[in-house]
Every structure is written in structure tokens, then in C-alpha cells.
Amino acid sequence: MSTVGYVGADVPVELITAADLRPLRLTGRPGQDSAAGDRYLGRGVDPVARSILTRILDRDYGPLEAIVVSRDCEASLRLFYALRELHRVEPAGLPPVRLVDVLHLPHHTTTRYVHAKLAQLREWLGRWRPIGDDDLAAAITAHDTLRRSLGRLAALRRANRLSGTRFLETVAATTAVPVAEAIALVDRALADPRETDGVRLFLAGSSHDHPAVYESLERNGFLVAGEDHDWGEQLFARTCAAPTELALAERYQYNGPSAPRASIRDRAAHTAAAARACGAEVLLSYARVHDDAPPWDFPEQRAATGLPAVLAERQPYGELTAEALAALVPAGAAA
């Protein structure tokens, strides 16, 4: 099965599956030299995008048939432009790349726009295999089954029977294998619960495609009980209303809200509800270097949750600095 790499949770993976291709969510690698990516993106871009570009150029992901990038943030958009130009200059060096632009406004006109963009992506992926309605319906059903299984995994974490680190690792693993294997992988995790404990922490802010920050927090007495980034529960919280292209468009339109593309008010309301649902005792907003959106959300998130809260700004990719941890520990003790 050929592999299509994708960047961002706004990419409708169901269409890739329906084309009989394997969707692989591309991740960075904290600590890796990103000189190759820096050359084309510059060092002022989110280090995750620079790391992903470096890994693409180094062929770290193995052979990719194509790459689909979502316009979920400015860094992803700049990554797309760099990949498109590199493919234009050296078409034999990199696979073709496609941008998918999903808007998240609650309007019928937005639904029509997103539906049109998904239809265009469906046609583009049809180069490899035409996607019939039955193919799409089966793919939507399979991915919704996976999302419901991941929902049960989140419930296990809320019941103190799964660590935040193991939860994040399992979710990430499901984005690297075909959907049937992903469902089996989650089923194995559900069958192997492990008691855990700690000060229940809700993690807001930048996304985490690597478990290092979760590991650091949980080594220091916290349990990451919930998060609002798109490698966590946001990835699977919403399913499709029906196995159709229109319902798929609505699913992605209304997914979120993410820090780069949602209003401060919507983010605060979402964070407060999610923090209550997981019984959080502390709020940590983690803002990676060159990710400027989370600090704008933080004051209203803190007010909406009413929790002891810490903002950790300008954090290195995949790390939690000693200063940030030192600011967090008193908040955990107060909780």
C-alpha cells in the first residue's frame, strides 16, 4: 500500500483511506538538526514545521506517494509553499503536494466552501484510485469507529487507568498505520489499563507530536488528564453525522477550536469545559517558541477555568524548561 504523508488535523484522512492509500501524519523530531529545513523556511518559523521539512528532505519517512498539507496555521502554510516550490524545481526529488484549506466559521457558506475543497482533494487523490461513494462511506465508517475507540481510551485516562504519556503515544501511533490496524492498536491499549495518579493537569496551547513534555510533567507528579491540542482529544472528539462527503466536510468544519484559528472566547469556553470533564486541578498553557497564539488565549482560559494556572512561553520544541517546571510546581501544590 502506497503512503500519503499529511500535515495537520484538518486533512480529511478518510479521503486518503478511500483511495486505498495509507495516511501517515508527518511528525517532527525534537533535538534533530533542522539545518535543511531552516534553509528554506528560515529560523523564525515554528520548529515543528522546520523539522518536518528536514525529515522530508532526508527521506526519513520512507517513500511517499504524495503529501497533503492543511492550512491549519501559518507554519503549515509556509511549509506547503516550500514543498510546492521544491517539487516544481526538482519534480523527481519530492512527491506532489496538495494544500487543503478548511475554514471553521459556523456558516452555510463556509460549509459549501469546505465541501468544495474536499471534493477537489477527492478528485486529486483519484489519480491513484478513483474514489466511489461506497469507498468513501466505508472509509468514513472505519475512521469514526477509530474515533469512538479513542474516546473510550480518553475515558480510561479520566478514570486514572492510563497515563497522559501513554495516551498521547497511542493516539500518535494510530496516525501512522492503516485504519484497521489503528483500531486493533487502540483495542489492545483498552485491554491493558494501568493504574496511575498525580495532580490532574490540563494542557493547553501548542500541539505535541512527541511525548517528551508529557513525560517530564508526569515524572514530576502531574497527570496530564486532558489537553486542547490536535494530537489529543481534539483529533477524534467529533465524528461524522453520516457517511457522505457533505457530512465529512461538516465534521472538519466544526472540529476544534484550535489556537491558531479560533477566537479567544471560543478557546476559553472549550478549555473550561474540557478541564471540568477531566477533573483538572491545574492549567498549564505551553507555548512553543515561534507559536504566538497560545499566550493570547491564556488570560481568558485562566479566568474561565478558575484553576491555578501557569503560562510557559517560548518553550523549546519537545522540552519543558526548568524555569517553567519551577513555576508550575507551586500551582500543583496549591491544588
3-state helix/strand/coil string of the chain: CCEEEEECCCCCHHHHHHCCCEEEECCCCCCCCCHHHHHHHCCCCCHHHHHHHHHHHCCCCCCCCEEEEECCCHHHHHHHHHHHHHHHHCCCCCCCEEEECCCCCCCHHHHHHHHHHHHHHHHHHCCCCCCCHHHHHHHHHHHHHHHHHHHHHHHHHHCCCCCHHHHHHHHHHHCCCCHHHHHHHHHHHHCCCCCCCCEEEEEEECCCCCCHHHHHHHHCCEEEEEECCCCCHHHCCCCCCCCCHHHHHHHHHCCCCCCCCCCHHHHHHHHHHHHHHCCCCEEEEEEECCCCHHHHHHHHHHHHHCCCEEEEEEECCCCCCHHHHHHHHHHHHHC
Query: Are 165 and 111 contained in the same domain?
Result: no
Query: Are 183 and 315 contained in the same domain?
Result: yes
| Domain, as residue range, for 257 | 150-334
Query: Are 111 and 156 contained in the same domain?
Result: no
Query: Are 208 and 272 contained in the same domain?
Result: yes
Query: Are 119 and 155 contained in the same domain?
Result: no
Query: Are 165 and 293 contained in the same domain?
Result: yes
Q: Is residue 144 part of a domain?
A: no
Q: Say if CB 161 and CB 126 are below 8 A apart.
A: no
The number of domains in the chain is 2
Query: Are 264 and 160 contained in the same domain?
Result: yes
Query: Are 160 and 113 contained in the same domain?
Result: no
Provide the residue-wise pLDDT of the chain in tens; the chain has 335 residues: 899 999 999 999 999 999 999 999 999 999 999 999 999 999 999 999 999 999 999 999 999 999 999 999 999 999 999 999 999 998 778 999 999 999 999 999 999 999 999 999 999 999 999 999 999 999 999 999 999 999 999 999 999 999 999 999 999 999 999 999 999 999 999 999 999 999 999 999 999 999 999 999 999 999 999 999 999 999 999 999 999 999 999 999 999 888 777 889 999 999 999 999 999 999 999 999 999 999 999 999 999 999 999 999 999 999 999 999 999 987 776 77
Long-range contacts of residues 47-50, Cβ cutoff 8 Å, at least 24 apart: 47/288, 47/289, 47/290, 47/316, 47/317, 48/75, 48/207, 48/209, 48/288, 48/317, 49/75, 49/76, 49/78, 49/79
Q: Is residue 67 part of a domain?
A: yes
Q: Is residue 240 part of a domain?
A: yes
Check residue 91 and give its pLDDT: 74
Q: Is residue 110 part of a domain?
A: yes
Query: Are 61 and 170 contained in the same domain?
Result: no
Cell triple for 157 = 485516562
Check residue 290 and give its pLDDT: 94
Q: Is the model's pTM score more than 0.85?
A: yes
Question: Among residues 78, 108, 125, which one ends one of the domains?
Answer: 125
Q: Is residue 282 part of a domain?
A: yes
List all residues 6 or more positions away from 6 whose beta carbon is below 8 Å from its beta carbon.
13, 16, 23, 24, 25, 26, 67, 68, 69, 70
Q: Is residue 130 part of a domain?
A: no
Question: Among residues 61, 91, 125, which one ends one of the domains?
Answer: 125
Check residue 1 and give its pLDDT: 87
Query: Are 218 and 109 contained in the same domain?
Result: no
Q: Is residue 289 part of a domain?
A: yes
Rounded to whole angstroms, the Cα distance separating 334 from 245 reads: 49
Query: Are 109 and 159 contained in the same domain?
Result: no
Q: Say if CB 63 and CB 90 are below 8 A apart.
A: no
Check residue 262 and give its pLDDT: 82
Question: Among residues 91, 125, 159, which one ends one of the domains?
Answer: 125
Rounded to whole angstroms, the Cα distance separating 319 from 333 reads: 22
CATH number, domain containing residue 7: 3.40.50.11890
Q: Is residue 131 part of a domain?
A: no
CATH number, domain containing residue 164: 3.40.50.11900
Query: Are 272 and 310 contained in the same domain?
Result: yes
